[in-house]
């Protein structure tokens, strides 16, 4: 044991933990490992498993820091459940939620129950815990790898949804275990099924109410210090009230983030965003503190049961991810790596285990549940970050947050159901898509009128199945665009008399005409001259497949990275 020669104050403990986390995180990155892994290992090293530098009482005094960090991360994850942005991902996400709620727990339950011979209620609790993914770990790795794209959008939304599913499933499993293990406990099947609805309903009321209140309070506020203050109060209030009312604070903060993202999508200065400058510090302290909570001796106590639970969860996550993305008709990269990216597990699972520990009805399985639960979390939080980073890199999304020439077109800005039949009707359909998927108060009629007027002067049907109509929007906006794919083709006037299969509608502010010309040239040169890409693009099954085609090397060479000064203000 390596103890300090004096009793440190909580502030000093936090400072030392932060220094250790930042140092080991930097070492981990130098070794080409996720910084999260180094921070967790730093916590394990400083904690009761190795050096015992800090006592449990000293780190427990910082529990409010971890609660706030987890709440902040939950708000950030919830903000990715943006209905407008996820419009094209509905089938993928519904399939993922269904698979993670059925296939994954079934694999874990069957393995733990039949291989180890434990009581069915214990296996049911472990199976419910297996659903959760650590949102903090995933978010940290997305930031660290500078990842962005369809895979990341699907991953972050899936993390939010599977934590909701985990909390709901654990509520049912907990009540079922209580009835099974305590002869005096009574609950009907209806009560078991309604238990998660109570959690979800109360969390929605609390998180949604806090979000609406924050929006109302900041409606006319522009000062950054006041925005940060109001945001901090809203997050702390949501977390504190949730804990006092026995509601999941994670679920409540997720709803808070969802509310902010969907009610005021244009106002990004409130919520988790105001803490962006402190993000590195928050992550380092959170993961290092989490590492101090991982008791390696629990892995020994868990023994074979923990090994079965860990291995079956890995199989279940990968299987559920593959099946869900196959059902969701996702591109191959998402199908192969989404389950791998969902392996990290931490705060949610630990919190639910501790909740179960406080239930006297589960006294007969309390010790074993703690040992196995913490063992599974320890393994998944050490192995998981490595696998998530590999998945982000293999998916092709890593390193893509740098601004590119045509990076303003995302999955939600694409339709593979362009109908027409006339050019004017096709333009109207794309204009409606552009206005509905972009922030701001764009005038739909003005955009359509501007685009049709330009088309009447000079047709933008460039041939080879491509048309690039464009309209003008007020200055101060960024350049915007949407893409429509018609598999049958639109039979309109074109220079080569070929039907139009791809129409790109651009909305350009008057102060960005130079970039507009660059975009036009890039689209025309790539799609118009590359027959192989054109063939794939015109047959694309979904917007996600269009995004995948745009990542091909030919297009990447032309879709070059912009200098920061070239970005629209």
C-alpha 344/C-alpha 384 separation (Å) is 4
Q: How buried is residue 336: exposed, middle or buried, by Cβ count under 10 Å (0-12/13-18/19+)?
A: middle
CB 239 within 8 A of CB 257: no
C-alpha 82/C-alpha 545 separation (Å) is 21
Nearest to 364 by CA among 242, 219, 185, 538: 185
Q: What is the pLDDT of residue 187?
A: 64
How big is the chain by its Cα radius of gyration, in Å? 26
C-alpha 210/C-alpha 526 separation (Å) is 48
Q: What is the pLDDT of residue 98?
A: 94
Domains of the chain as residue ranges with CATH: 10-395 (1.20.1530.20), 411-566 (3.40.930.10)
Query: How far, in Å, are 430, 478, 506, 540, 555 from residue 484 at the CA level?
Result: 7, 20, 11, 11, 18
DSSP helix/strand/coil, 343:
coil
The overall pTM is greater than 0.75 = yes
CB 471 within 8 A of CB 448: yes
* Spans of the chain below 50 pLDDT: 563-569
Query: How far, in Å, are 246, 417, 418, 494 from residue 430 at the CA level?
Result: 47, 10, 8, 19
Buried-state track 204-223, b at ≥16 Cβ within 10 A, e below 16: bebbbbbbebbbebbeeeee
Nearest to 43 by CA among 65, 17, 66: 17
Q: What is the pLDDT of residue 72?
A: 84
Buried-state track 419-452, b at ≥16 Cβ within 10 A, e below 16: ebeebeebbbbbbebbbebbeeebeeeebbebbb
- What spatial distance separates the first Cα and last Cα of the chain, rounded to whole Å? 55
Q: Where are the alpha helices (DSSP H) in 411-530?
A: 423-437, 444-457, 513-529
HSE at residue 449, side-chain half, CA atoms within 13 A, is 6
Structure tokens at 509: 């502010």
**β-pairing, 500-509 with 480-490?**
antiparallel
């Amino acid at each position: 044991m390596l103890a300090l020669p004096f009793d440190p104050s909580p502030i000093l403990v936090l400072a030392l933990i932060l220094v250790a986390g930042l140092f080991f995180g930097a070492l981990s990155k130098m070794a080409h490992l996720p910084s999260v892994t180094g921070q967790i290992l730093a916590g394990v090293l400083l904690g009761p498993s190795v050096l015992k530098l800090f006592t449990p009482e000293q780190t427990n005094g910082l529990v409010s820091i971890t609660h706030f960090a987890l709440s902040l991360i939950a708000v950030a994850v919830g903000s990715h459940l943006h209905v407008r942005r996820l419009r094209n991902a509905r089938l993928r996400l519904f399939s993922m939620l269904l698979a993670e709620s059925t296939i994954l727990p079934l694999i874990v339950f069957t393995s733990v129950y039949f291989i180890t011979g434990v009581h069915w209620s214990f296996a049911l609790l472990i199976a419910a815990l297996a659903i959760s993914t650590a949102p903090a770990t995933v978010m940290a790795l997305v930031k660290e790898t500078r990842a962005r794209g369809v895979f990341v959008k699907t991953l972050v939304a899936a993390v939010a949804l599977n934590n909701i599913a985990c909390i709901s499933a654990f509520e049912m499993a907990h009540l079922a275990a209580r009835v099974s293990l305590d002869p005096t406990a009574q609950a009907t099947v209806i009560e078991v099924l309604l238990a998660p609805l109570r959690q979800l309903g109360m969390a929605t009321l609390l998180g949604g109410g806090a979000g609406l209140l924050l929006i109302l309070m900041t409606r006319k506020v522009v000062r950054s210090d006041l925005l940060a203050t109001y945001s901090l109060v809203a997050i702390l209030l949501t977390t504190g009230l949730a804990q006092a009312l026995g509601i999941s604070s994670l679920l409540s903060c997720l709803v808070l983030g969802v509310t902010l993202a969907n009610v005021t999508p244009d106002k990004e200065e409130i919520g988790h965003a105001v803490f962006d400058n402190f993000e590195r510090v928050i992550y380092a302290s959170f993961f290092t503190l989490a590492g101090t909570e991982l008791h390696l001796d629990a892995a020994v106590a868990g023994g074979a049961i923990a090994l079965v639970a860990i291995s079956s969860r890995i199989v279940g996550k990968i299987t559920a991810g593959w099946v869900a993305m196959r059902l969701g008709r996702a591109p191959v990269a998402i199908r192969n790596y989404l389950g791998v990216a969902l392996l990290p597990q931490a705060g949610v699972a630990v919190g639910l285990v501790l909740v179960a520990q406080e239930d006297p009805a589960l006294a007969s399985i309390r010790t074993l549940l703690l040992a196995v639960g913490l063992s599974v979390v320890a393994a998944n939080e050490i192995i998981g970050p490595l696998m998530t980073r590999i998945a982000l890199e293999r998916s092709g999304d890593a390193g893509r947050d740098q601004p590119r020439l045509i990076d303003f077109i995302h999955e939600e800005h694409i339709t593979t159901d362009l109908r027409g039949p006339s050019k004017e009707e096709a333009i109207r359909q794309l204009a409606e898509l552009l206005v509905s998927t972009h922030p701001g108060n764009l005038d739909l009629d003005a955009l359509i009128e501007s685009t049709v007027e330009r088309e009447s002067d000079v047709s933008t049907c460039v041939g080879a199945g491509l048309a690039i109509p464009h309209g003008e929007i007020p200055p101060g906006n960024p350049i915007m665009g949407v893409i429509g794919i018609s598999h049958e083709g639109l039979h309109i006037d074109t220079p080569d008399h070929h039907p139009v299969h791809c129409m790109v509608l651009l909305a350009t502010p008057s102060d960005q005409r130079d970039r507009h010309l660059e975009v036009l040239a890039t689209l025309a040169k790539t799609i118009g001259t590359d027959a192989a890409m054109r063939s794939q693009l015109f047959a694309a099954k979904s917007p996600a497949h269009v995004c995948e085609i745009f990542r091909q090397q030919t297009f990447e060479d032309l879709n070059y990275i912009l200098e920061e000064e070239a970005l629209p203000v």
